[in-house]
C-alpha cells in the first residue's frame, strides 16, 4: 500500500500551519491512503518549544500557547519521528510526498534547509511521487517574482504534479515549467465544517454572544471596525490582537489559545474581524459574517481567495473601516457552490497525482 509523507511548517505555533497538516491528513484518510506528517524542523527547538530566529514575523508565543499547540499535535496529528535539519532525511521512506500548502515557496527562504525540503531537493533523484498541493509564494511584488523566477524554474523540475493556491500565481508558475499547473483549493477549505467538529470535542460556549477579533498586524481599520461594531451591537469582544488597549469593550484576551480553542471561538462568534487567512477560511466554513484585512506586503492570499469566492467586497485594506460591510449579508449558498466545484477539481488533481 502507498504511504504518503506530508511536508509543511506544522512545527510553527500558528493556527494555519497546524490546521493545514490536519486537513491534508484528514483528506488522505478519507481517500483511504496511508500517511503521516513528517516532523521536520530546521533546527532544534529552544527551551520555550520554538525554533529560534526563524519566521521572525511571528511574535513570540506564551508557554500556555505552546502547550496548547503541542497538545493539538499530540492528539490530532500522526507525526513521523523527528527530523532536525537535513542530516538524516535520506532515511525517510515514503512512496509519495505532498508539499502541503501555504507560503512554502516564500521569497524569504530560498537557500536554507527549509527550502531544501520544500523544493524536494532531498528526494529529487528518488523514484517517488512529488506533489505540491496549493503551494503559495505569498507575494505579488515584481522584485520578489523576478528573484524567484530562476530558482523556481530549476526546482520545479523536481516536481511531478504541481498545484498552487493563488490564482494570480498560476500563470507565473506555468511559464516556468512544462508540467500542467493547477489552481487548487486550500486544504483547510477542502474539508467540511463537520470534519473539524472532532477538534471541538464537547466544548461549550461560556461567553454568550460576542465579536471575535484576530489581528496579527496593527491594522488601524480593523480596530475601528471592532469598536464601532461593538458599540452598535452592544457585543463584547474576544480578541487575539497586538494592542489590546485599542479594544473598547474587551471580554477576553485569547492570545494563549491553541488551534482547538481558536476554532471554538470562531464557531461560536456572531462576527469575525481578522487579517488571518485561515481564521477567514474557518469563518467561511462556519458561514459567519466577517471582514478580512490585508497585511502589509501579503494581500494576495486573502484578496485572491475572496475574489475566487465572489466575496471581494469583504477584503479591506489595513486602513479601511468595515462596519457597514460586515453587516451586509453573505449568500453562502452561492459561495459553497463555488467551493464544491473547486473541491471537485482539486480532488481530481489529487486522485490523478496519487494513482497515476
Share of the chain above pLDDT 90, in %: 80
Q: What is the pLDDT of residues 236-257, one digit of tens each?
A: 999 999 999 999 999 999 999 9
CATH code assigned to 3-191 = 3.40.50
The pLDDT value recorded for residue 61 is 63
CB 282 within 8 A of CB 274: no
Ramachandran quadrant class, 101 (left: phi over 0; alpha: psi -120 to 50; beta: rest): left
**Nearest Cα to 134, choosing from 177, 173, 166, 172?**
166
Q: What is the pLDDT of residues 45-92, one digit of tens each?
A: 665 556 554 444 444 568 899 999 999 999 999 999 999 989 889 899
Q: Let me know the angle formed at the C-alpha of 231 by 230 and 233, rounded to the nearest 5 degrees.
A: 65
CA atoms within a 13 Å half-sphere pointing along the CA-CB vector of 263 = 25
Q: What is the pLDDT of residues 147-201, one digit of tens each?
A: 999 999 999 999 999 999 999 999 999 999 999 999 999 999 999 999 999 898 7
CA atoms within a 13 Å half-sphere pointing along the CA-CB vector of 300 = 18
The pLDDT value recorded for residue 44 is 66
CB 22 within 8 A of CB 6: no
Rounded to whole angstroms, how far apart are CA atoms 271 and 290? 6
Comparing 110 with 116, the larger pLDDT belongs to 116
Q: Which three cell numbers stand for residue 201?
A: 470535542
Rounded to whole angstroms, how far apart are CA atoms 160 and 217? 37
The per-residue pLDDT of the chain, averaged, comes to 93
Whole-model pTM over 0.75: yes
Q: What is the pLDDT of residues 199-239, one digit of tens each?
A: 987 666 789 999 999 999 999 999 999 999 999 999 999 99
Say whether domain 201-336 belongs to CATH 3.90.1150.10.
no
What residue spans of 247-298 are helical by DSSP H?
A: 259-268, 277-285
**Nearest Cα to 306, choosing from 274, 272, 335, 337?**
335
Amino acid at each position: 500500500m502507498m504511504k504518503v509523507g506530508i511536508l509543511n511548517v506544522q512545527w510553527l505555533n500558528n493556527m494555519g500551519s497546524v490546521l493545514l497538516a490536519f486537513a491534508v491528513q484528514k483528506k488522505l484518510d478519507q481517500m483511504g491512503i496511508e500517511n503521516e506528517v513528517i516532523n521536520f524542523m530546521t533546527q532544534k527547538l529552544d527551551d520555550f518549544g520554538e525554533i529560534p530566529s526563524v519566521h521572525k514575523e511571528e511574535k513570540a508565543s506564551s508557554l500556555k500557547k505552546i502547550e496548547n499547540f503541542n497538545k493539538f499535535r499530540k492528539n490530532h496529528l500522526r507525526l513521523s519521528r523527528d527530523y532536525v535539519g537535513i542530516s538524516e532525511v535520506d532515511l525517510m521512506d515514503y512512496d509519495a510526498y505532498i508539499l502541503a500548502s501555504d507560503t512554502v515557496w516564500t521569497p524569504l527562504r530560498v537557500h536554507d534547509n527549509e527550502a531544501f525540503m520544500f523544493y524536494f531537493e532531498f528526494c529529487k533523484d528518488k523514484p517517488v511521487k512529488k506533489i505540491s498541493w496549493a503551494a503559495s509564494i505569498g507575494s505579488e511584488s515584481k522584485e520578489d517574482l523576478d528573484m524567484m523566477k530562476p530558482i523556481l524554474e530549476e526546482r520545479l523540475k523536481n516536481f511531478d504534479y504541481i498545484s498552487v493556491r493563488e490564482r494570480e500565481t498560476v500563470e507565473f508558475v506555468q511559464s516556468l515549467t512544462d508540467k500542467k499547473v493547477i489552481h487548487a483549493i486550500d486544504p483547510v477549505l477542502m474539508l467540511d465544517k463537520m470534519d473539524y467538529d472532532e477538534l471541538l470535542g464537547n466544548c461549550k460556549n461560556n461567553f454568550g454572544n460576542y465579536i471575535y477579533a484576530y489581528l496579527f498586524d496593527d491594522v488601524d481599520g480593523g480596530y475601528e471596525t471592532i469598536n464601532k461594531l461593538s458599540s452598535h451591537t452592544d457585543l463584547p469582544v474576544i480578541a487575539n490582537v497586538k494592542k489590546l488597549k485599542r479594544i473598547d469593550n474587551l471580554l477576553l484576551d485569547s492570545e494563549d489559545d491553541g488551534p482547538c480553542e481558536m476554532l471554538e471561538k470562531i464557531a461560536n462568534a456572531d462576527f469575525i474581524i481578522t487579517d488571518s487567512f485561515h481564521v477567514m477560511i474557518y469563518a467561511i466554513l462556519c458561514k459567519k459574517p466577517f471582514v478580512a484585512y490585508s497585511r502589509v506586503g501579503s494581500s494576495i492570499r486573502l484578496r485572491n481567495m475572496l475574489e475566487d469566492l465572489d466575496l471581494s467586497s469583504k477584503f479591506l485594506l489595513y486602513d479601511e473601516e468595515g462596519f457597514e460591510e460586515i453587516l451586509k449579508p453573505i449568500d453562502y449558498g452561492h459561495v459553497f457552490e463555488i467551493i464544491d466545484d473547486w473541491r471537485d477539481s482539486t480532488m481530481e488533481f489529487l486522485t490523478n497525482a496519487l494513482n497515476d
